[in-house]
Structure 1
Amino acid sequence: MLQLSQVASILALLQLSSSAALSRPAFSRASTSTALAASEHCGDYDYVILSGTPWIVYNMLYNAHMTVGTHAPISNPFKRPTLATGNPEVVWSSVTDIEYVESTNNVPKGYSFVGLTQNLEITISDISSIPASYAWTGTNATDFKGNVCFDFMVSDTKGDSTSTSAQELMLWLQYEGGQLPIGWEKRMLPDTQFDGSFEGDLKECFEALVALSKFTNETYVNVGNAGTEFFYGDSILNATLGLQIDLS
Protein backbone atom coordinates (compact mmCIF):
# COMPACT_ATOMS: atom_id res chain seq x y z
CA MET A 1 0.00 0.00 0.00
CA LEU A 2 1.08 3.60 -0.55
CA GLN A 3 3.20 5.33 2.07
CA LEU A 4 1.68 8.68 3.08
CA SER A 5 4.98 10.52 2.68
CA GLN A 6 5.15 9.29 -0.92
CA VAL A 7 1.54 10.17 -1.73
CA ALA A 8 2.34 13.83 -1.07
CA SER A 9 5.02 13.93 -3.76
CA ILE A 10 2.78 12.12 -6.22
CA LEU A 11 -0.11 14.47 -5.54
CA ALA A 12 2.09 17.51 -6.12
CA LEU A 13 3.25 16.01 -9.40
CA LEU A 14 -0.29 15.21 -10.46
CA GLN A 15 -1.47 18.74 -9.73
CA LEU A 16 1.39 20.20 -11.76
CA SER A 17 0.37 17.93 -14.60
CA SER A 18 -3.29 18.92 -14.19
CA SER A 19 -2.41 22.61 -14.38
CA ALA A 20 -0.42 22.01 -17.54
CA ALA A 21 -3.31 20.04 -18.99
CA LEU A 22 -5.55 23.11 -18.83
CA SER A 23 -3.53 24.70 -21.63
CA ARG A 24 -3.73 21.77 -24.00
CA PRO A 25 -6.70 20.19 -25.81
CA ALA A 26 -8.72 17.51 -24.06
CA PHE A 27 -7.67 13.94 -24.84
CA SER A 28 -9.12 12.58 -28.05
CA ARG A 29 -12.09 10.26 -28.33
CA ALA A 30 -11.55 9.71 -32.03
CA SER A 31 -12.16 6.28 -33.51
CA THR A 32 -8.51 5.87 -34.51
CA SER A 33 -5.82 4.57 -32.17
CA THR A 34 -2.84 6.66 -31.11
CA ALA A 35 0.53 5.02 -30.45
CA LEU A 36 2.78 6.96 -28.06
CA ALA A 37 6.45 6.15 -27.53
CA ALA A 38 7.06 3.16 -25.25
CA SER A 39 9.31 3.65 -22.22
CA GLU A 40 10.68 1.69 -19.25
CA HIS A 41 10.85 2.99 -15.67
CA CYS A 42 13.06 1.03 -13.27
CA GLY A 43 14.04 3.76 -10.78
CA ASP A 44 12.75 3.70 -7.21
CA TYR A 45 10.52 6.70 -7.99
CA ASP A 46 10.38 6.73 -11.77
CA TYR A 47 7.55 7.99 -13.95
CA VAL A 48 6.38 9.35 -17.27
CA ILE A 49 3.49 11.76 -17.88
CA LEU A 50 1.60 10.61 -20.98
CA SER A 51 1.09 13.76 -23.00
CA GLY A 52 -2.43 14.28 -24.31
CA THR A 53 -3.95 11.77 -21.86
CA PRO A 54 -5.29 11.99 -18.29
CA TRP A 55 -2.54 9.67 -16.95
CA ILE A 56 0.89 9.31 -15.42
CA VAL A 57 2.69 5.91 -15.30
CA TYR A 58 4.65 5.57 -12.06
CA ASN A 59 7.04 3.03 -10.49
CA MET A 60 7.15 3.45 -6.70
CA LEU A 61 9.64 1.07 -5.07
CA TYR A 62 9.13 2.56 -1.62
CA ASN A 63 10.73 -0.37 0.21
CA ALA A 64 13.75 -0.66 -2.07
CA HIS A 65 16.00 -1.11 0.97
CA MET A 66 14.15 -4.39 1.70
CA THR A 67 14.14 -5.56 -1.91
CA VAL A 68 16.44 -8.19 -3.39
CA GLY A 69 15.84 -8.00 -7.13
CA THR A 70 14.30 -5.55 -9.58
CA HIS A 71 10.98 -4.16 -10.66
CA ALA A 72 9.94 -1.96 -13.58
CA PRO A 73 6.69 -0.92 -15.22
CA ILE A 74 6.80 -0.68 -18.99
CA SER A 75 4.82 2.18 -20.45
CA ASN A 76 3.61 1.04 -23.85
CA PRO A 77 0.92 3.68 -24.16
CA PHE A 78 -1.11 2.52 -27.12
CA LYS A 79 -4.15 4.73 -26.62
CA ARG A 80 -7.44 3.59 -28.08
CA PRO A 81 -11.17 4.14 -27.50
CA THR A 82 -13.22 1.41 -25.84
CA LEU A 83 -16.04 0.08 -27.96
CA ALA A 84 -18.73 0.64 -25.34
CA THR A 85 -17.98 4.22 -24.28
CA GLY A 86 -15.43 5.75 -26.63
CA ASN A 87 -13.22 6.50 -23.60
CA PRO A 88 -9.44 6.11 -24.02
CA GLU A 89 -7.35 3.22 -22.69
CA VAL A 90 -3.64 2.74 -22.07
CA VAL A 91 -1.61 -0.45 -22.48
CA TRP A 92 1.11 -1.03 -19.87
CA SER A 93 3.09 -3.79 -18.14
CA SER A 94 4.59 -4.44 -14.71
CA VAL A 95 7.70 -6.65 -14.60
CA THR A 96 8.68 -8.05 -11.18
CA ASP A 97 11.80 -10.10 -10.36
CA ILE A 98 12.07 -9.97 -6.56
CA GLU A 99 13.52 -12.77 -4.46
CA TYR A 100 11.54 -14.38 -1.66
CA VAL A 101 13.08 -13.44 1.70
CA GLU A 102 11.40 -14.98 4.74
CA SER A 103 11.83 -11.94 7.00
CA THR A 104 10.23 -9.53 4.48
CA ASN A 105 7.83 -11.77 2.56
CA ASN A 106 4.83 -9.94 4.04
CA VAL A 107 6.25 -6.47 3.34
CA PRO A 108 5.00 -4.80 0.13
CA LYS A 109 8.07 -3.73 -1.82
CA GLY A 110 6.27 -1.18 -3.93
CA TYR A 111 3.43 -0.21 -6.19
CA SER A 112 3.40 0.43 -9.94
CA PHE A 113 0.38 2.21 -11.34
CA VAL A 114 -1.33 4.41 -13.88
CA GLY A 115 -2.49 7.54 -12.05
CA LEU A 116 -5.00 10.23 -12.94
CA THR A 117 -3.78 13.78 -13.54
CA GLN A 118 -7.16 15.42 -14.25
CA ASN A 119 -10.39 16.13 -12.34
CA LEU A 120 -8.91 15.52 -8.88
CA GLU A 121 -9.39 17.42 -5.59
CA ILE A 122 -13.15 17.52 -6.11
CA THR A 123 -16.01 16.33 -3.92
CA ILE A 124 -17.96 13.15 -4.50
CA SER A 125 -20.99 15.32 -5.32
CA ASP A 126 -18.97 16.97 -8.14
CA ILE A 127 -18.49 13.59 -9.85
CA SER A 128 -21.03 12.25 -12.33
CA SER A 129 -19.19 8.97 -12.98
CA ILE A 130 -15.82 7.22 -12.78
CA PRO A 131 -15.87 4.90 -15.81
CA ALA A 132 -13.26 2.18 -15.41
CA SER A 133 -12.16 -0.80 -17.48
CA TYR A 134 -9.23 -3.00 -16.45
CA ALA A 135 -8.10 -6.11 -18.33
CA TRP A 136 -4.97 -8.01 -17.32
CA THR A 137 -3.04 -11.24 -17.70
CA GLY A 138 -0.36 -12.39 -15.29
CA THR A 139 2.47 -14.81 -16.07
CA ASN A 140 4.37 -16.16 -13.06
CA ALA A 141 7.69 -17.99 -13.40
CA THR A 142 7.82 -18.50 -9.61
CA ASP A 143 5.48 -18.10 -6.66
CA PHE A 144 4.20 -14.52 -6.64
CA LYS A 145 2.60 -12.39 -3.96
CA GLY A 146 0.71 -9.27 -5.01
CA ASN A 147 -2.56 -7.84 -6.24
CA VAL A 148 -4.39 -5.91 -8.95
CA CYS A 149 -6.32 -2.94 -7.61
CA PHE A 150 -7.79 0.54 -7.85
CA ASP A 151 -6.57 3.02 -5.24
CA PHE A 152 -7.96 6.39 -4.09
CA MET A 153 -6.98 8.91 -1.41
CA VAL A 154 -9.87 10.88 0.08
CA SER A 155 -10.26 13.50 2.79
CA ASP A 156 -12.66 16.10 4.13
CA THR A 157 -9.99 18.64 3.12
CA LYS A 158 -9.23 19.50 -0.49
CA GLY A 159 -5.78 18.30 -1.54
CA ASP A 160 -5.05 16.40 1.69
CA SER A 161 -3.44 13.00 1.19
CA THR A 162 -0.90 13.01 4.04
CA SER A 163 -2.59 13.96 7.30
CA THR A 164 -4.12 11.50 9.75
CA SER A 165 -7.52 12.63 8.46
CA ALA A 166 -6.80 11.40 4.93
CA GLN A 167 -8.03 7.91 4.10
CA GLU A 168 -7.03 5.37 1.47
CA LEU A 169 -9.70 3.37 -0.35
CA MET A 170 -8.37 0.30 -2.17
CA LEU A 171 -10.58 -1.82 -4.40
CA TRP A 172 -8.89 -5.20 -4.81
CA LEU A 173 -9.81 -7.04 -8.00
CA GLN A 174 -7.42 -10.00 -7.76
CA TYR A 175 -4.78 -11.06 -5.23
CA GLU A 176 -2.52 -14.06 -4.73
CA GLY A 177 0.22 -15.45 -2.53
CA GLY A 178 -1.79 -15.03 0.67
CA GLN A 179 -1.82 -11.23 0.59
CA LEU A 180 -4.34 -9.68 2.98
CA PRO A 181 -5.18 -6.04 3.79
CA ILE A 182 -2.94 -4.52 6.44
CA GLY A 183 -2.58 -1.07 7.93
CA TRP A 184 -5.73 0.61 6.62
CA GLU A 185 -9.37 0.48 7.61
CA LYS A 186 -11.23 0.72 4.31
CA ARG A 187 -10.57 -1.92 1.67
CA MET A 188 -13.04 -3.62 -0.59
CA LEU A 189 -12.38 -7.30 -1.28
CA PRO A 190 -14.64 -9.03 -3.82
CA ASP A 191 -16.57 -12.08 -2.60
CA THR A 192 -15.29 -13.75 -5.76
CA GLN A 193 -12.09 -12.48 -7.36
CA PHE A 194 -12.28 -10.96 -10.82
CA ASP A 195 -10.72 -13.24 -13.41
CA GLY A 196 -8.64 -10.94 -15.58
CA SER A 197 -11.16 -8.19 -16.31
CA PHE A 198 -13.34 -5.55 -14.69
CA GLU A 199 -15.65 -2.91 -16.12
CA GLY A 200 -17.94 -0.58 -14.21
CA ASP A 201 -18.59 2.84 -12.71
CA LEU A 202 -16.49 3.30 -9.55
CA LYS A 203 -18.71 6.21 -8.49
CA GLU A 204 -21.07 3.50 -7.24
CA CYS A 205 -18.44 2.42 -4.67
CA PHE A 206 -18.28 5.95 -3.27
CA GLU A 207 -22.08 6.21 -3.23
CA ALA A 208 -22.27 2.95 -1.26
CA LEU A 209 -19.81 4.28 1.33
CA VAL A 210 -21.77 7.53 1.59
CA ALA A 211 -24.93 5.48 2.23
CA LEU A 212 -23.04 3.67 5.02
CA SER A 213 -21.96 7.05 6.50
CA LYS A 214 -18.28 6.22 5.91
CA PHE A 215 -17.92 9.26 3.62
CA THR A 216 -20.15 12.24 2.86
CA ASN A 217 -21.03 13.77 -0.49
CA GLU A 218 -18.62 16.59 0.41
CA THR A 219 -15.63 14.25 0.88
CA TYR A 220 -12.82 15.18 -1.51
CA VAL A 221 -11.33 12.67 -3.95
CA ASN A 222 -7.71 13.85 -4.06
CA VAL A 223 -5.80 10.96 -5.71
CA GLY A 224 -6.95 8.17 -8.02
CA ASN A 225 -5.06 5.39 -9.79
CA ALA A 226 -4.97 1.71 -10.75
CA GLY A 227 -2.03 -0.64 -10.51
CA THR A 228 -0.41 -3.60 -8.80
CA GLU A 229 1.23 -4.06 -5.39
CA PHE A 230 4.08 -6.57 -5.33
CA PHE A 231 5.84 -8.43 -2.51
CA TYR A 232 8.03 -11.06 -4.21
CA GLY A 233 8.21 -13.30 -7.26
CA ASP A 234 9.19 -13.45 -10.92
CA SER A 235 6.09 -12.22 -12.72
CA ILE A 236 4.87 -10.14 -15.66
CA LEU A 237 1.53 -8.33 -15.59
CA ASN A 238 0.23 -7.09 -18.96
CA ALA A 239 -2.73 -4.75 -18.66
CA THR A 240 -5.06 -2.46 -20.57
CA LEU A 241 -6.63 0.26 -18.44
CA GLY A 242 -9.33 2.84 -18.92
CA LEU A 243 -9.86 5.22 -15.98
CA GLN A 244 -11.16 8.77 -15.80
CA ILE A 245 -13.33 11.01 -13.62
CA ASP A 246 -16.27 12.73 -15.33
CA LEU A 247 -17.70 15.84 -13.67
CA SER A 248 -21.35 16.55 -12.96
Structure 2
Amino acid sequence: MLSKLFLLVHLASVVLASPTPTDLENRASIDTSSHCGQWDTVTASQYELLLDLWGESGATSGSQCSNLVSLSGSTISWKTTWTWTGGSGVKSFSNIQLNTGVNTQLSAISSMPTVWQWSQSSSGTIVADVAYDLFTSNTAGGSNTNEIMIWLANFNAGPISYTYGSNGQPVPVASNLSLAGHTWNLYSGSNGANAVWSFLPTSGTITSFSGDLKTFFDYLTENEGISTSQYLVTAQAGTEPTSGSATLTTSAYSLAIN
Protein backbone atom coordinates (compact mmCIF):
# COMPACT_ATOMS: atom_id res chain seq x y z
CA MET A 1 0.00 0.00 0.00
CA LEU A 2 2.80 2.40 0.91
CA SER A 3 4.61 1.61 -2.35
CA LYS A 4 1.47 2.41 -4.36
CA LEU A 5 1.02 5.68 -2.46
CA PHE A 6 4.64 6.65 -3.16
CA LEU A 7 4.15 5.90 -6.86
CA LEU A 8 1.05 8.08 -7.03
CA VAL A 9 2.83 10.99 -5.31
CA HIS A 10 5.80 10.59 -7.63
CA LEU A 11 3.62 10.62 -10.74
CA ALA A 12 1.78 13.69 -9.50
CA SER A 13 5.05 15.53 -8.99
CA VAL A 14 6.16 14.66 -12.52
CA VAL A 15 2.92 16.03 -13.96
CA LEU A 16 3.22 19.24 -11.94
CA ALA A 17 6.83 19.72 -13.05
CA SER A 18 6.08 19.17 -16.72
CA PRO A 19 6.18 22.17 -19.06
CA THR A 20 2.87 23.92 -19.58
CA PRO A 21 1.32 23.99 -23.08
CA THR A 22 2.32 27.66 -23.32
CA ASP A 23 5.96 26.81 -22.52
CA LEU A 24 5.96 24.08 -25.14
CA GLU A 25 4.34 26.37 -27.71
CA ASN A 26 6.91 29.11 -27.12
CA ARG A 27 9.79 26.69 -27.40
CA ALA A 28 8.43 25.11 -30.54
CA SER A 29 7.83 28.48 -32.21
CA ILE A 30 11.35 29.85 -31.79
CA ASP A 31 14.14 29.24 -34.27
CA THR A 32 17.35 29.71 -32.26
CA SER A 33 19.75 28.81 -35.09
CA SER A 34 22.25 31.37 -36.38
CA HIS A 35 21.29 33.38 -39.46
CA CYS A 36 23.77 35.33 -41.58
CA GLY A 37 21.95 36.21 -44.82
CA GLN A 38 21.58 39.86 -45.81
CA TRP A 39 17.80 39.91 -45.49
CA ASP A 40 17.16 36.88 -43.26
CA THR A 41 14.15 37.11 -40.93
CA VAL A 42 13.00 34.93 -38.04
CA THR A 43 9.51 35.26 -36.60
CA ALA A 44 8.78 34.63 -32.91
CA SER A 45 5.23 35.45 -31.81
CA GLN A 46 4.71 39.23 -32.06
CA TYR A 47 8.38 39.85 -32.81
CA GLU A 48 10.63 39.37 -35.81
CA LEU A 49 14.42 39.21 -35.93
CA LEU A 50 15.67 41.11 -38.98
CA LEU A 51 19.29 40.71 -40.12
CA ASP A 52 18.99 43.82 -42.33
CA LEU A 53 22.59 43.96 -43.61
CA TRP A 54 21.53 46.80 -45.88
CA GLY A 55 24.95 48.48 -46.17
CA GLU A 56 27.22 45.44 -46.35
CA SER A 57 28.28 46.30 -49.91
CA GLY A 58 30.03 49.36 -48.45
CA ALA A 59 32.44 47.19 -46.47
CA THR A 60 35.78 45.95 -47.75
CA SER A 61 35.14 42.78 -45.81
CA GLY A 62 32.98 41.55 -42.99
CA SER A 63 29.92 39.63 -41.93
CA GLN A 64 27.19 39.53 -39.31
CA CYS A 65 25.21 36.67 -37.81
CA SER A 66 22.26 36.84 -35.40
CA ASN A 67 20.06 34.43 -33.51
CA LEU A 68 17.14 34.34 -31.13
CA VAL A 69 17.85 32.86 -27.70
CA SER A 70 14.49 32.60 -25.94
CA LEU A 71 10.94 33.91 -25.68
CA SER A 72 9.01 33.99 -22.42
CA GLY A 73 5.64 35.68 -22.67
CA SER A 74 6.34 39.08 -24.22
CA THR A 75 10.05 39.08 -23.32
CA ILE A 76 12.54 38.02 -25.98
CA SER A 77 16.31 37.61 -25.90
CA TRP A 78 18.70 37.53 -28.85
CA LYS A 79 22.31 38.00 -29.93
CA THR A 80 24.20 39.41 -32.91
CA THR A 81 27.91 39.21 -33.76
CA TRP A 82 29.46 41.44 -36.38
CA THR A 83 32.82 42.29 -37.99
CA TRP A 84 33.03 45.07 -40.58
CA THR A 85 36.08 46.61 -42.23
CA GLY A 86 36.28 49.53 -44.67
CA GLY A 87 33.85 52.22 -45.71
CA SER A 88 32.53 55.06 -43.60
CA GLY A 89 28.82 54.23 -43.70
CA VAL A 90 26.57 52.05 -41.55
CA LYS A 91 26.70 48.42 -42.67
CA SER A 92 23.62 46.96 -41.03
CA PHE A 93 20.81 47.28 -38.55
CA SER A 94 20.14 43.83 -37.14
CA ASN A 95 17.14 44.29 -34.89
CA ILE A 96 14.02 43.01 -33.20
CA GLN A 97 10.86 44.36 -34.82
CA LEU A 98 7.45 44.51 -33.17
CA ASN A 99 4.69 43.46 -35.56
CA THR A 100 1.60 44.03 -33.39
CA GLY A 101 0.08 47.41 -32.68
CA VAL A 102 1.81 49.24 -35.53
CA ASN A 103 -0.03 51.33 -38.14
CA THR A 104 -1.74 53.15 -35.30
CA GLN A 105 -2.10 56.94 -35.16
CA LEU A 106 0.01 58.62 -32.49
CA SER A 107 -3.15 60.21 -31.07
CA ALA A 108 -4.57 56.72 -30.45
CA ILE A 109 -1.51 55.35 -28.61
CA SER A 110 -1.89 55.52 -24.82
CA SER A 111 1.49 53.99 -23.92
CA MET A 112 4.50 52.12 -25.31
CA PRO A 113 6.09 50.34 -22.34
CA THR A 114 9.48 48.78 -23.01
CA VAL A 115 12.36 47.03 -21.30
CA TRP A 116 15.77 46.51 -22.86
CA GLN A 117 18.64 44.89 -20.98
CA TRP A 118 21.78 44.27 -22.98
CA SER A 119 25.57 43.96 -22.91
CA GLN A 120 28.28 44.18 -25.53
CA SER A 121 31.77 42.77 -25.89
CA SER A 122 34.06 44.24 -28.51
CA SER A 123 37.56 43.94 -29.92
CA GLY A 124 39.56 47.14 -30.49
CA THR A 125 37.88 50.36 -31.58
CA ILE A 126 34.34 50.11 -32.90
CA VAL A 127 31.95 52.56 -34.51
CA ALA A 128 28.33 51.72 -33.78
CA ASP A 129 25.19 52.63 -31.89
CA VAL A 130 22.56 50.70 -29.97
CA ALA A 131 19.14 52.26 -30.49
CA TYR A 132 15.40 52.08 -30.90
CA ASP A 133 14.38 53.00 -34.46
CA LEU A 134 10.79 54.15 -34.97
CA PHE A 135 9.16 55.42 -38.15
CA THR A 136 5.97 57.40 -38.72
CA SER A 137 4.00 57.99 -41.89
CA ASN A 138 1.13 60.13 -43.12
CA THR A 139 -0.92 56.98 -43.65
CA ALA A 140 -1.11 53.48 -42.20
CA GLY A 141 1.50 51.38 -43.98
CA GLY A 142 2.65 54.42 -45.97
CA SER A 143 6.09 55.78 -46.82
CA ASN A 144 8.26 56.98 -43.96
CA THR A 145 7.92 60.65 -43.01
CA ASN A 146 9.80 60.76 -39.71
CA GLU A 147 12.46 58.53 -38.21
CA ILE A 148 12.74 58.72 -34.42
CA MET A 149 15.85 57.16 -32.92
CA ILE A 150 16.43 56.69 -29.19
CA TRP A 151 20.08 55.85 -28.68
CA LEU A 152 21.10 53.89 -25.61
CA ALA A 153 24.77 53.82 -26.64
CA ASN A 154 27.08 55.78 -28.93
CA PHE A 155 30.35 54.03 -29.73
CA ASN A 156 32.32 56.66 -31.69
CA ALA A 157 29.35 57.20 -34.01
CA GLY A 158 27.14 60.26 -34.27
CA PRO A 159 23.56 61.24 -35.08
CA ILE A 160 22.38 62.81 -38.31
CA SER A 161 22.24 66.58 -37.88
CA TYR A 162 21.48 69.66 -39.93
CA THR A 163 24.01 71.66 -37.91
CA TYR A 164 27.60 70.95 -36.89
CA GLY A 165 29.88 73.02 -34.68
CA SER A 166 33.38 74.26 -35.51
CA ASN A 167 34.69 71.09 -33.83
CA GLY A 168 32.80 68.96 -36.35
CA GLN A 169 30.35 67.68 -33.76
CA PRO A 170 26.58 67.73 -34.31
CA VAL A 171 24.69 70.50 -32.53
CA PRO A 172 21.50 69.50 -30.66
CA VAL A 173 18.22 71.34 -31.23
CA ALA A 174 17.29 70.72 -27.58
CA SER A 175 19.44 69.79 -24.60
CA ASN A 176 19.09 68.12 -21.21
CA LEU A 177 15.60 66.75 -21.78
CA SER A 178 14.31 64.62 -18.92
CA LEU A 179 12.39 61.72 -20.47
CA ALA A 180 11.76 58.14 -19.34
CA GLY A 181 14.06 58.40 -16.36
CA HIS A 182 17.13 59.67 -18.26
CA THR A 183 18.53 62.91 -19.67
CA TRP A 184 18.85 63.36 -23.44
CA ASN A 185 20.01 65.72 -26.17
CA LEU A 186 17.85 65.87 -29.29
CA TYR A 187 19.32 66.17 -32.79
CA SER A 188 17.47 66.91 -36.02
CA GLY A 189 18.48 66.13 -39.59
CA SER A 190 17.57 64.28 -42.76
CA ASN A 191 18.72 61.01 -44.30
CA GLY A 192 17.69 62.20 -47.75
CA ALA A 193 14.36 60.40 -47.64
CA ASN A 194 12.75 61.58 -44.39
CA ALA A 195 13.33 63.70 -41.31
CA VAL A 196 15.43 62.09 -38.58
CA TRP A 197 15.05 62.87 -34.87
CA SER A 198 17.70 61.36 -32.59
CA PHE A 199 17.61 61.32 -28.79
CA LEU A 200 21.05 60.63 -27.31
CA PRO A 201 21.95 60.24 -23.62
CA THR A 202 23.77 63.33 -22.38
CA SER A 203 26.46 61.03 -20.97
CA GLY A 204 27.30 57.37 -20.61
CA THR A 205 25.62 54.25 -21.91
CA ILE A 206 22.24 52.87 -20.86
CA THR A 207 22.48 49.08 -20.70
CA SER A 208 19.29 48.61 -18.68
CA PHE A 209 16.39 50.71 -19.94
CA SER A 210 12.79 50.64 -18.79
CA GLY A 211 10.32 53.32 -19.77
CA ASP A 212 7.47 54.50 -21.98
CA LEU A 213 8.52 55.38 -25.52
CA LYS A 214 5.35 57.44 -25.93
CA THR A 215 7.03 60.17 -23.85
CA PHE A 216 9.45 60.75 -26.76
CA PHE A 217 6.60 61.07 -29.25
CA ASP A 218 4.81 63.40 -26.84
CA TYR A 219 7.84 65.68 -26.74
CA LEU A 220 8.09 65.78 -30.53
CA THR A 221 4.39 66.46 -31.07
CA GLU A 222 4.32 69.15 -28.38
CA ASN A 223 7.60 70.88 -29.23
CA GLU A 224 8.87 69.95 -32.70
CA GLY A 225 5.80 70.08 -34.91
CA ILE A 226 5.22 66.38 -35.54
CA SER A 227 1.49 65.83 -35.96
CA THR A 228 -0.41 63.44 -33.71
CA SER A 229 -2.23 62.33 -36.87
CA GLN A 230 0.97 60.57 -37.99
CA TYR A 231 0.89 56.76 -37.94
CA LEU A 232 3.56 54.69 -36.21
CA VAL A 233 4.44 52.21 -38.96
CA THR A 234 7.69 50.62 -37.71
CA ALA A 235 9.05 49.87 -34.23
CA GLN A 236 12.51 48.29 -34.05
CA ALA A 237 15.45 48.01 -31.66
CA GLY A 238 18.98 46.93 -32.53
CA THR A 239 22.50 48.01 -33.38
CA GLU A 240 23.95 49.99 -36.30
CA PRO A 241 27.62 49.08 -36.77
CA THR A 242 29.97 50.90 -39.13
CA SER A 243 33.33 49.27 -38.36
CA GLY A 244 35.09 46.98 -35.90
CA SER A 245 34.06 43.74 -34.22
CA ALA A 246 31.53 43.18 -31.44
CA THR A 247 28.84 40.94 -30.02
CA LEU A 248 25.63 42.50 -28.73
CA THR A 249 23.67 40.28 -26.33
CA THR A 250 20.14 41.23 -25.33
CA SER A 251 19.16 39.34 -22.20
CA ALA A 252 15.65 40.79 -22.03
CA TYR A 253 13.62 42.93 -24.43
CA SER A 254 9.95 43.75 -24.61
CA LEU A 255 7.83 46.41 -26.30
CA ALA A 256 4.09 46.86 -26.53
CA ILE A 257 1.87 49.46 -28.20
CA ASN A 258 -1.27 50.17 -26.20
Distance in 2 (CA, whole Å) between partners of 1:198 and 1:37 is 26
> Any gaps of 5 or more consecutive residues in structure 2?
1-21, 161-190
Counterparts of 1:74-89 in structure 2, within 5 Å, are 74-76=67-69, 78-81=70-73, 88-89=74-75
Indicate the structure (1 or 2) with the bigger Cα radius of gyration: 2
Matched, 1:48 2:42: yes
Distance in 2 (CA, whole Å) between partners of 1:195 and 1:158 is 32
SS, match of residue 226 in structure 2: coil
- Residues 57-111 of structure 1 deviation map (CA, whole Å, 9 limit, x = unaligned): 00011122122111111122x1225xxxxxx211100101222x2xx1x310011
In the TM superposition, residue 32 of structure 1 has moved relative to its aligned partner by 10
Instruction: Output the amino acid matched with 1:208.
Output: Y
Asked if 2 retains the 8 angstrom alpha-carbon contact of 1:74 and 1:95, the reply is no
What residue in structure 1 maps to residue 253 of structure 2?
A: 241
Q: CA RMSD, aligned part only?
A: 2.1
Asked if 2 retains the 8 angstrom alpha-carbon contact of 1:146 and 1:228, the reply is yes
Instruction: Output the amino acid matched with 1:89.
Output: T
What residue in structure 1 maps to residue 118 of structure 2?
A: 136
The percentage of counterpart residues that share the same residue type is 25
Matched, 1:123 2:109: no
Asked if 1 retains the 8 angstrom alpha-carbon contact of 2:93 and 2:239, the reply is yes
What residue in structure 2 maps to residue 228 of structure 1?
A: 239
With the length of structure 1 as denominator, give the TM-score of the two structures: 0.75
Matched, 1:146 2:140: no
- Residues 95-137 of structure 1 deviation map (CA, whole Å, 9 limit, x = unaligned): 01222x2xx1x31001100001111111011111111111111
> Any gaps of 5 or more consecutive residues in structure 1?
1-29, 82-87
Distance in 1 (CA, whole Å) between partners of 2:47 and 2:201 is 26
With the length of structure 2 as denominator, give the TM-score of the two structures: 0.72
SS, match of residue 45 in structure 1: coil
- 235 and 181 in structure 1: CA distance in 2 versus 1, 3 angstrom threshold: same
Asked if 2 retains the 8 angstrom alpha-carbon contact of 1:161 and 1:167, the reply is no
Q: 2:153 aligns with which of 174, 180, 188?
A: 174
- 32 and 135 in structure 1: CA distance in 2 versus 1, 3 angstrom threshold: farther
What residue in structure 2 maps to residue 204 of structure 1?
A: 215
Asked if 2 retains the 8 angstrom alpha-carbon contact of 1:60 and 1:112, the reply is yes
Distance in 1 (CA, whole Å) between partners of 2:96 and 2:225 is 26
Aligned length: 201
Distance in 2 (CA, whole Å) between partners of 1:230 and 1:150 is 14
